[in-house]
Amino acid sequence: MSEILLTALRQDTPMIDVRAPIEFEQTALPSARNLPILNDAERAEVGLCYKNKGQVAATALGHQLVSGSTKDERIQAWIDLITRHPDALLFCARGGLRSKLAADWLAQAGYSIHRVEGGYKQIRQILVDQYPIAPSQLFILAGSTGVGKTEVLVQDRFHIDLEGLANHRGSAFGSMVTQQPAQTTFENALGVELLKWRFAAHGPLLLEDEGRLIGRLHLPVPLQTSMKDSRLLVLEASFEARAQRIHRDYILNNWAHFEGAYADQAFELFSGYLLQALKSIKKRLGGQGYIECEKRMMDALALQSSGDVSGHQGWIEYLLANYYDPMYTYQLGQKAHRIVFRGDASEINDYLARQRKNFEP
Protein backbone atom coordinates (compact mmCIF):
# COMPACT_ATOMS: atom_id res chain seq x y z
CA MET A 1 0.00 0.00 0.00
CA SER A 2 1.53 3.30 -1.09
CA GLU A 3 2.37 5.63 1.79
CA ILE A 4 2.09 8.51 -0.67
CA LEU A 5 -1.49 7.51 -1.47
CA LEU A 6 -2.46 7.10 2.20
CA THR A 7 -1.01 10.49 3.04
CA ALA A 8 -2.80 12.06 0.09
CA LEU A 9 -6.16 10.63 1.18
CA ARG A 10 -5.69 11.78 4.77
CA GLN A 11 -4.61 15.26 3.78
CA ASP A 12 -7.18 15.81 1.01
CA THR A 13 -4.42 16.20 -1.54
CA PRO A 14 -5.94 17.10 -4.93
CA MET A 15 -6.12 14.24 -7.41
CA ILE A 16 -6.65 14.19 -11.15
CA ASP A 17 -9.26 11.59 -12.12
CA VAL A 18 -8.86 10.91 -15.84
CA ARG A 19 -11.82 8.52 -15.99
CA ALA A 20 -14.84 9.51 -18.07
CA PRO A 21 -17.47 11.78 -16.45
CA ILE A 22 -19.99 8.92 -16.25
CA GLU A 23 -17.55 6.95 -14.09
CA PHE A 24 -16.77 9.95 -11.89
CA GLU A 25 -20.42 10.85 -11.28
CA GLN A 26 -21.14 7.56 -9.56
CA THR A 27 -17.82 6.94 -7.81
CA ALA A 28 -16.20 10.28 -7.03
CA LEU A 29 -13.51 10.82 -4.41
CA PRO A 30 -13.70 13.88 -2.12
CA SER A 31 -10.48 15.54 -3.26
CA ALA A 32 -10.53 14.41 -6.90
CA ARG A 33 -11.26 16.60 -9.90
CA ASN A 34 -12.54 14.96 -13.04
CA LEU A 35 -10.30 15.94 -15.97
CA PRO A 36 -10.95 13.02 -18.33
CA ILE A 37 -8.65 11.79 -21.03
CA LEU A 38 -11.73 10.47 -22.86
CA ASN A 39 -15.22 11.93 -22.57
CA ASP A 40 -18.25 9.65 -22.29
CA ALA A 41 -18.87 9.35 -26.03
CA GLU A 42 -15.19 8.71 -26.79
CA ARG A 43 -14.95 6.12 -24.04
CA ALA A 44 -17.99 4.28 -25.40
CA GLU A 45 -16.55 4.30 -28.92
CA VAL A 46 -13.16 3.03 -27.78
CA GLY A 47 -14.80 0.36 -25.62
CA LEU A 48 -16.82 -0.93 -28.55
CA CYS A 49 -13.69 -1.02 -30.69
CA TYR A 50 -11.83 -2.95 -27.99
CA LYS A 51 -14.64 -5.49 -27.80
CA ASN A 52 -14.78 -6.02 -31.57
CA LYS A 53 -11.19 -5.51 -32.69
CA GLY A 54 -8.92 -5.78 -29.65
CA GLN A 55 -6.61 -3.55 -27.63
CA VAL A 56 -4.28 -2.41 -30.42
CA ALA A 57 -7.13 -1.10 -32.55
CA ALA A 58 -8.82 0.49 -29.54
CA THR A 59 -5.62 2.26 -28.51
CA ALA A 60 -5.13 3.58 -32.04
CA LEU A 61 -8.72 4.87 -32.08
CA GLY A 62 -8.19 6.58 -28.73
CA HIS A 63 -5.16 8.44 -30.08
CA GLN A 64 -7.15 9.42 -33.15
CA LEU A 65 -10.06 10.78 -31.09
CA VAL A 66 -7.81 12.68 -28.67
CA SER A 67 -5.38 14.51 -30.89
CA GLY A 68 -4.57 18.01 -32.07
CA SER A 69 -6.28 20.83 -30.14
CA THR A 70 -8.42 18.37 -28.14
CA LYS A 71 -5.29 16.68 -26.79
CA ASP A 72 -3.63 20.04 -26.11
CA GLU A 73 -6.64 21.30 -24.14
CA ARG A 74 -6.79 18.19 -21.95
CA ILE A 75 -3.08 18.25 -21.21
CA GLN A 76 -3.29 21.95 -20.35
CA ALA A 77 -6.11 21.27 -17.88
CA TRP A 78 -3.86 18.76 -16.08
CA ILE A 79 -0.93 21.19 -16.13
CA ASP A 80 -3.08 23.97 -14.68
CA LEU A 81 -3.98 21.78 -11.70
CA ILE A 82 -0.41 20.52 -11.21
CA THR A 83 0.86 24.10 -11.27
CA ARG A 84 -1.50 24.97 -8.40
CA HIS A 85 -0.95 21.66 -6.60
CA PRO A 86 2.50 20.16 -7.32
CA ASP A 87 1.75 17.22 -4.97
CA ALA A 88 -1.34 16.16 -6.96
CA LEU A 89 -1.89 12.49 -7.81
CA LEU A 90 -3.18 10.98 -11.04
CA PHE A 91 -5.41 7.94 -11.45
CA CYS A 92 -7.78 6.13 -13.79
CA ALA A 93 -9.98 3.09 -13.18
CA ARG A 94 -7.33 0.42 -12.61
CA GLY A 95 -4.06 2.25 -13.08
CA GLY A 96 -3.78 1.06 -16.66
CA LEU A 97 -3.66 2.64 -20.07
CA ARG A 98 -5.45 5.94 -19.44
CA SER A 99 -3.41 7.13 -16.46
CA LYS A 100 -0.15 5.85 -17.96
CA LEU A 101 -0.84 7.68 -21.19
CA ALA A 102 -1.76 10.88 -19.32
CA ALA A 103 1.44 10.66 -17.28
CA ASP A 104 3.48 10.11 -20.47
CA TRP A 105 1.91 13.14 -22.16
CA LEU A 106 2.62 15.26 -19.09
CA ALA A 107 6.23 14.05 -19.02
CA GLN A 108 6.61 15.05 -22.66
CA ALA A 109 5.35 18.50 -21.68
CA GLY A 110 7.92 18.69 -18.87
CA TYR A 111 5.71 17.80 -15.90
CA SER A 112 5.91 14.83 -13.56
CA ILE A 113 3.12 13.48 -11.38
CA HIS A 114 2.67 10.53 -9.02
CA ARG A 115 0.41 7.97 -10.67
CA VAL A 116 -1.72 5.63 -8.57
CA GLU A 117 -0.73 2.34 -10.17
CA GLY A 118 -3.76 0.46 -8.90
CA GLY A 119 -6.05 3.31 -9.92
CA TYR A 120 -9.48 3.92 -8.44
CA LYS A 121 -9.80 0.19 -7.71
CA GLN A 122 -6.89 0.36 -5.25
CA ILE A 123 -8.19 3.55 -3.64
CA ARG A 124 -11.66 2.07 -3.26
CA GLN A 125 -10.29 -1.01 -1.51
CA ILE A 126 -8.36 1.14 0.98
CA LEU A 127 -11.54 3.03 1.83
CA VAL A 128 -13.74 -0.08 2.09
CA ASP A 129 -11.20 -1.55 4.53
CA GLN A 130 -11.92 1.32 6.92
CA TYR A 131 -15.58 0.40 7.57
CA PRO A 132 -15.16 -2.36 10.21
CA ILE A 133 -14.53 -0.77 13.62
CA ALA A 134 -14.37 -2.42 17.03
CA PRO A 135 -17.48 -1.38 18.99
CA SER A 136 -15.20 -0.36 21.87
CA GLN A 137 -13.80 2.35 19.59
CA LEU A 138 -17.20 3.99 19.09
CA PHE A 139 -19.59 6.19 21.02
CA ILE A 140 -23.06 6.55 19.50
CA LEU A 141 -24.96 9.75 20.28
CA ALA A 142 -28.68 9.09 20.62
CA GLY A 143 -31.55 11.38 21.51
CA SER A 144 -35.13 12.17 20.60
CA THR A 145 -36.02 14.19 17.51
CA GLY A 146 -34.98 17.83 17.77
CA VAL A 147 -32.68 17.33 20.77
CA GLY A 148 -29.70 18.81 18.90
CA LYS A 149 -27.50 15.78 18.33
CA THR A 150 -25.68 17.28 15.36
CA GLU A 151 -24.84 20.42 17.33
CA VAL A 152 -23.19 18.32 20.06
CA LEU A 153 -21.61 15.96 17.56
CA VAL A 154 -19.70 18.60 15.63
CA GLN A 155 -18.23 20.08 18.81
CA ASP A 156 -16.37 16.85 19.53
CA ARG A 157 -12.87 16.62 18.10
CA PHE A 158 -13.23 13.04 16.88
CA HIS A 159 -16.55 12.80 15.13
CA ILE A 160 -17.91 12.05 11.68
CA ASP A 161 -21.11 13.77 10.59
CA LEU A 162 -22.83 10.95 8.69
CA GLU A 163 -25.85 13.09 7.83
CA GLY A 164 -23.57 15.85 6.56
CA LEU A 165 -21.79 13.40 4.25
CA ALA A 166 -25.15 12.03 3.10
CA ASN A 167 -26.61 15.54 2.66
CA HIS A 168 -29.74 14.49 4.54
CA ARG A 169 -31.00 15.00 8.10
CA GLY A 170 -32.05 11.39 8.42
CA SER A 171 -35.83 11.72 8.84
CA ALA A 172 -38.92 11.94 6.67
CA PHE A 173 -38.49 15.73 6.68
CA GLY A 174 -34.72 15.57 6.31
CA SER A 175 -34.19 16.08 2.59
CA MET A 176 -32.15 19.09 1.48
CA VAL A 177 -32.61 21.49 -1.42
CA THR A 178 -29.54 19.94 -3.06
CA GLN A 179 -29.46 16.24 -3.99
CA GLN A 180 -27.82 13.46 -2.06
CA PRO A 181 -24.57 12.11 -3.53
CA ALA A 182 -24.36 8.78 -5.31
CA GLN A 183 -24.13 5.79 -2.96
CA THR A 184 -20.49 4.99 -3.75
CA THR A 185 -19.49 8.66 -3.60
CA PHE A 186 -20.98 8.81 -0.09
CA GLU A 187 -19.15 5.62 0.90
CA ASN A 188 -15.87 7.01 -0.43
CA ALA A 189 -16.23 10.23 1.56
CA LEU A 190 -17.02 8.18 4.67
CA GLY A 191 -13.99 5.96 4.08
CA VAL A 192 -11.72 8.99 3.85
CA GLU A 193 -13.08 10.38 7.14
CA LEU A 194 -12.58 7.02 8.85
CA LEU A 195 -9.02 6.86 7.53
CA LYS A 196 -8.30 10.29 8.99
CA TRP A 197 -9.69 9.22 12.36
CA ARG A 198 -7.64 6.02 12.45
CA PHE A 199 -4.42 7.92 11.90
CA ALA A 200 -5.32 10.53 14.54
CA ALA A 201 -5.76 7.73 17.13
CA HIS A 202 -6.60 9.93 20.10
CA GLY A 203 -9.81 8.37 21.31
CA PRO A 204 -13.09 6.73 20.37
CA LEU A 205 -15.03 8.01 17.40
CA LEU A 206 -18.37 9.76 17.97
CA LEU A 207 -21.20 9.04 15.53
CA GLU A 208 -24.85 9.98 15.59
CA ASP A 209 -27.33 7.15 16.09
CA GLU A 210 -28.60 6.24 12.62
CA GLY A 211 -30.69 3.51 11.10
CA ARG A 212 -29.75 1.53 8.04
CA LEU A 213 -30.68 4.40 5.73
CA ILE A 214 -29.94 8.12 5.67
CA GLY A 215 -32.40 9.33 3.09
CA ARG A 216 -31.90 6.95 0.16
CA LEU A 217 -28.28 6.12 1.11
CA HIS A 218 -27.41 3.11 3.22
CA LEU A 219 -24.57 2.84 5.69
CA PRO A 220 -21.94 0.21 4.88
CA VAL A 221 -22.97 -3.05 6.56
CA PRO A 222 -19.73 -3.49 8.59
CA LEU A 223 -20.20 -0.04 10.12
CA GLN A 224 -23.89 -0.72 10.82
CA THR A 225 -22.88 -3.88 12.67
CA SER A 226 -20.32 -2.05 14.79
CA MET A 227 -22.74 0.75 15.64
CA LYS A 228 -25.40 -1.70 16.83
CA ASP A 229 -22.99 -3.05 19.50
CA SER A 230 -21.49 0.26 20.60
CA ARG A 231 -21.97 2.38 23.72
CA LEU A 232 -24.84 4.87 23.70
CA LEU A 233 -24.81 8.42 24.99
CA VAL A 234 -28.34 9.79 25.34
CA LEU A 235 -28.71 13.54 24.80
CA GLU A 236 -31.68 15.12 26.59
CA ALA A 237 -33.56 18.42 26.16
CA SER A 238 -37.01 19.77 26.99
CA PHE A 239 -39.98 19.28 24.68
CA GLU A 240 -40.21 23.07 24.16
CA ALA A 241 -36.54 23.41 23.21
CA ARG A 242 -36.80 20.51 20.79
CA ALA A 243 -39.90 21.93 19.07
CA GLN A 244 -38.20 25.31 18.70
CA ARG A 245 -35.07 23.73 17.24
CA ILE A 246 -37.09 21.75 14.69
CA HIS A 247 -38.97 24.91 13.72
CA ARG A 248 -35.66 26.68 13.20
CA ASP A 249 -33.92 23.90 11.27
CA TYR A 250 -36.76 22.41 9.24
CA ILE A 251 -38.87 25.52 8.66
CA LEU A 252 -36.86 28.74 8.95
CA ASN A 253 -33.56 27.41 7.56
CA ASN A 254 -35.15 25.20 4.94
CA TRP A 255 -37.47 27.98 3.78
CA ALA A 256 -34.47 30.28 3.36
CA HIS A 257 -32.80 27.62 1.19
CA PHE A 258 -35.92 27.18 -0.93
CA GLU A 259 -36.22 30.95 -1.40
CA GLY A 260 -32.59 31.15 -2.47
CA ALA A 261 -32.82 28.23 -4.87
CA TYR A 262 -36.27 28.63 -6.43
CA ALA A 263 -37.33 32.29 -6.11
CA ASP A 264 -40.94 32.62 -7.40
CA GLN A 265 -41.60 28.87 -7.11
CA ALA A 266 -40.25 28.60 -3.57
CA PHE A 267 -43.54 28.54 -1.66
CA GLU A 268 -45.19 26.00 -3.97
CA LEU A 269 -42.18 23.68 -3.81
CA PHE A 270 -41.70 24.14 -0.06
CA SER A 271 -45.37 23.31 0.54
CA GLY A 272 -45.07 20.23 -1.64
CA TYR A 273 -41.94 19.11 0.20
CA LEU A 274 -43.67 19.34 3.61
CA LEU A 275 -46.88 17.66 2.49
CA GLN A 276 -45.03 14.84 0.71
CA ALA A 277 -42.82 14.25 3.75
CA LEU A 278 -45.92 13.99 5.93
CA LYS A 279 -47.54 11.62 3.44
CA SER A 280 -44.49 9.34 3.58
CA ILE A 281 -45.26 8.55 7.26
CA LYS A 282 -49.05 8.37 6.83
CA LYS A 283 -49.26 4.63 7.46
CA ARG A 284 -47.21 4.80 10.65
CA LEU A 285 -48.97 7.95 11.86
CA GLY A 286 -52.39 6.36 11.44
CA GLY A 287 -55.41 7.63 9.53
CA GLN A 288 -56.79 9.99 12.17
CA GLY A 289 -53.35 11.21 13.17
CA TYR A 290 -52.49 11.95 9.55
CA ILE A 291 -55.74 13.88 9.01
CA GLU A 292 -55.14 15.98 12.12
CA CYS A 293 -51.52 16.72 11.31
CA GLU A 294 -52.27 17.52 7.66
CA LYS A 295 -54.94 20.00 8.76
CA ARG A 296 -52.45 21.73 11.07
CA MET A 297 -49.86 21.80 8.31
CA MET A 298 -52.31 23.26 5.78
CA ASP A 299 -53.31 25.95 8.29
CA ALA A 300 -49.64 26.76 8.84
CA LEU A 301 -48.98 27.01 5.13
CA ALA A 302 -51.98 29.29 4.69
CA LEU A 303 -50.56 31.53 7.40
CA GLN A 304 -47.10 31.39 5.83
CA SER A 305 -48.54 32.56 2.50
CA SER A 306 -49.21 35.87 4.24
CA GLY A 307 -45.67 36.01 5.64
CA ASP A 308 -46.10 34.40 9.07
CA VAL A 309 -44.20 31.10 9.62
CA SER A 310 -45.10 30.70 13.30
CA GLY A 311 -48.05 28.41 12.55
CA HIS A 312 -45.75 25.50 11.77
CA GLN A 313 -45.07 25.14 15.48
CA GLY A 314 -48.50 23.48 15.84
CA TRP A 315 -47.98 20.48 13.59
CA ILE A 316 -44.37 20.11 14.77
CA GLU A 317 -45.52 19.74 18.38
CA TYR A 318 -48.28 17.36 17.30
CA LEU A 319 -45.84 15.11 15.43
CA LEU A 320 -43.37 15.12 18.32
CA ALA A 321 -45.97 14.14 20.89
CA ASN A 322 -47.91 11.64 18.79
CA TYR A 323 -45.35 10.12 16.45
CA TYR A 324 -41.67 10.78 17.03
CA ASP A 325 -41.53 10.57 20.83
CA PRO A 326 -43.49 7.29 21.15
CA MET A 327 -41.38 5.75 18.39
CA TYR A 328 -38.14 6.98 19.99
CA THR A 329 -39.14 5.72 23.45
CA TYR A 330 -39.78 2.25 22.03
CA GLN A 331 -36.55 2.17 20.03
CA LEU A 332 -34.43 3.39 22.92
CA GLY A 333 -35.99 0.74 25.14
CA GLN A 334 -34.59 -1.89 22.78
CA LYS A 335 -31.10 -0.42 23.29
CA ALA A 336 -31.28 0.34 27.01
CA HIS A 337 -28.52 -2.15 27.88
CA ARG A 338 -26.05 -0.12 25.79
CA ILE A 339 -26.63 3.24 27.50
CA VAL A 340 -23.56 4.43 29.42
CA PHE A 341 -24.49 8.08 30.02
CA ARG A 342 -27.44 10.49 29.85
CA GLY A 343 -27.37 14.26 30.05
CA ASP A 344 -27.90 17.61 28.39
CA ALA A 345 -25.50 19.07 25.83
CA SER A 346 -23.09 20.46 28.43
CA GLU A 347 -23.03 17.22 30.40
CA ILE A 348 -22.46 15.13 27.27
CA ASN A 349 -19.58 17.40 26.26
CA ASP A 350 -18.01 17.07 29.71
CA TYR A 351 -18.38 13.30 29.65
CA LEU A 352 -16.70 13.05 26.24
CA ALA A 353 -13.89 15.35 27.40
CA ARG A 354 -13.21 13.01 30.32
CA GLN A 355 -13.21 10.00 28.03
CA ARG A 356 -10.76 11.70 25.66
CA LYS A 357 -8.48 12.60 28.59
CA ASN A 358 -8.45 9.05 29.92
CA PHE A 359 -7.86 7.42 26.55
CA GLU A 360 -4.58 5.60 26.15
CA PRO A 361 -3.59 4.84 22.54
Q: In this predicted model, what pLDDT tens digit does every residue of 9-56 receive, in sequence order?
A: 999 999 999 999 999 999 999 999 999 999 999 999 999 999 999 989
Check pLDDT > 70 for residue 177.
Answer: no
Backbone phi and psi for residue 182, each to the nearest 5 degrees, phi listed first: -65, 155
Summarised one tens digit per residue, pLDDT across range 182-215 is 999 999 999 999 999 998 866 899 999 998 999 8
**pTM > 0.75: yes or no:** yes
The percent of residues above 90 in pLDDT, for the chain, comes to 84
Alpha-helical (H) ranges within 201-281 are 221-228, 239-246, 254-262, 266-280
Give the residue extent of every domain in the chain. 3-128, 131-361
Q: Crossing angle for the helix pair 239-246 and 312-319, nearest 10 degrees?
A: 130
Q: Which listed residue (92, 102, 251, 352) is catalytic?
A: 92
CATH of 3-128, one of 3.40.250.10, 1.20.1050.10, 3.90.950.10, 3.40.50.150: 3.40.250.10
pLDDT at 305: 93
Per-residue pLDDT tens digits for 112-140: 999 999 999 999 999 999 999 999 999 99
Q: Which CATH architecture has domain 131-361?
A: 3-Layer(aba) Sandwich (3.40)
Strands (E), the chain: 15-17, 32-34, 89-91, 114-115, 138-143, 205-208, 213-214, 217-218, 231-235, 339-343
92 catalytic, yes or no?
Answer: yes
What does 306-341 look like in DSSP terms, one character per residue? Answer: TT--TTHHHHHHHHIIIIIHHHHHHHHHHTGGGEEE
